[in-house]
Amino acid sequence: MSVREVQAPTLAPARPAPGRPARPPVRLTQVSHHFGDTTRPPVLDRIDLVVEPGEFVCLLGASGCGKSTLLSLIAGLDSPTGGTVEVGARRPALMFQEPALYPWLSAGRNIELALRLRGVPRAARRAEAERLLSLVHLDGAHARRVHELSGGMRQRVALARALAQEGEVLLMDEPFAALDAITRDVMHSELTRIWQETGRSVVFVTHNVREAVRLGQRVVLLSSRPGRIVREWTVPIPQPRRIEDHAVAELSVEITDHLRAEIASHAR
C-alpha cells in the first residue's frame, strides 16, 4: 500500500504474503483537513474510515460537510493537514458529477485516452475501449461524438473511462445528481451490475439518502462542518434493490431523521 502522510514521503509497502487476507484498499486514520487558515475549524476532523475489498460505501451528509474533499484526499489530489491516507498500489479512479468528456474526441477515443495514460499498447486500445463500452451497455458507440449522446449515455462513457484506469477503488462524486429521475434509476441499476461484475471497491458521495440506501452496503453519515463521522449503517437489503422498495424507504426514513437532527444541531 502507499501512504500519504503530512510532511512524510510516500511509502511503498511490501507485497502481502500468500494466504494473508487482502489489505483494505482505503484506510483513513485520524484524517483532518484545513483550507489555508488553520485557526478556523477544519473542513474534516479526525476521520477514521476503512473500505474493504469489493465494498460499496456511500458517504452521506449536508452540503459543505467535506464529502468531496474526502474523495479528493483519497484520490491523491490533495494531502491531509493531519492524519494518514492509505490507498492500494493502483491509484483510485475518480468520476465527477459532470462527465467531463473531451468534446473533440469520440466516445471510444475518450476511453482510449485513459488506456493510453495507463500504458496500454496502441494496438490493444480499440478492443479494450469497445469491451468497456459493451460493459456499460453502449455497444457500437465507439465512433459517436459527445454531442450525439444523451446525458445518461455521457455518464456511461465517463464510467467506462473511469473503469479503464483499473484502480482498485472507484471514487464517485454525485455522478447522477444532474440526471432526470428515470435515467438516474437506470444508472443505479447499471452501476450495481458493474460493481458486482468487476468486484471493485466503490466510495460514492451523495446527499440523497434513498440513493445511498439503494446502492450502498454501508452508509456513512458525516456531520456538518467540521466533517466528522457521526453514524454508520450496514444495509442488509439484498441486491438488486429498487428505490421504491419498502425496506429501502424504511431505512431511508431512519437515516434522514439522523441527518436532519445533525443539520439542526449545527444550525443553532
Residue 217's Cβ-side half-sphere holds a number of Cα atoms within 13 Å equal to 13
- DSSP per position, 102-134: -TTSBHHHHHHHHHHHHT--HHHHHHHHHHHHH
Q: Are residues 71 and 189 in the same domain?
A: yes
Residue 78 is given by DSSP the state S
Sign of CA dihedral 209, 212, 214, 217: negative
Question: What length does the chain have?
Answer: 268
Q: Across all residues in the chain, what is the average pLDDT?
A: 88
- Predicted pLDDT of residue 8: 30
CA distance 233 to 56: 12
Q: Are residues 24 and 155 in the same domain?
A: no
3-class SS at 8? strand
- Predicted pLDDT of residue 3: 44
Q: Are residues 125 and 196 in the same domain?
A: no
pLDDT band at 21 (very low <50, low <70, confident <90, very high): low
Q: Are residues 171 and 160 in the same domain?
A: no
What cell does 206 get? 451523495
pLDDT band at 113 (very low <50, low <70, confident <90, very high): very high
Q: Are residues 194 and 85 in the same domain?
A: yes
How far is residue 170 CA from its own chain's centroid? 5
First-last CA distance in the chain:
42
pLDDT, mean of residues 206-215? 95
pLDDT band at 60 (very low <50, low <70, confident <90, very high): very high
What cell does 183 get? 435515467
Q: Are residues 196 and 109 in the same domain?
A: no
What cell does 195 get? 460493481
What cell does 184 get? 438516474
Higher pLDDT, 183 or 266: 183
- Predicted pLDDT of residue 258: 92
**Which tens digit of pLDDT belongs to each residue from 157-198?**
999 999 999 889 999 999 999 899 999 999 999 999 999 999
Q: Are residues 113 and 212 in the same domain?
A: no
Structural domain including 58 reads 2-92+167-267
Residue at which a domain ends, from 135, 166, 197: 166
**Does pLDDT of 10 surpass 50?**
no
pLDDT, mean of residues 27-35? 94
**Position of cell 439542526?**
264
The reply to whether omega before 9 is within 30° of 0 (cis) is no
Residue at which a domain ends, from 166, 191, 214: 166
Residue at which a domain ends, from 166, 198, 215: 166
Q: Are residues 220 and 185 in the same domain?
A: yes
pLDDT band at 67 (very low <50, low <70, confident <90, very high): very high
CA distance 194 to 180: 21
- Predicted pLDDT of residue 268: 60
**Does pLDDT of 9 surpass 90?**
no
CATH of the domain at 21: 3.40.50.300
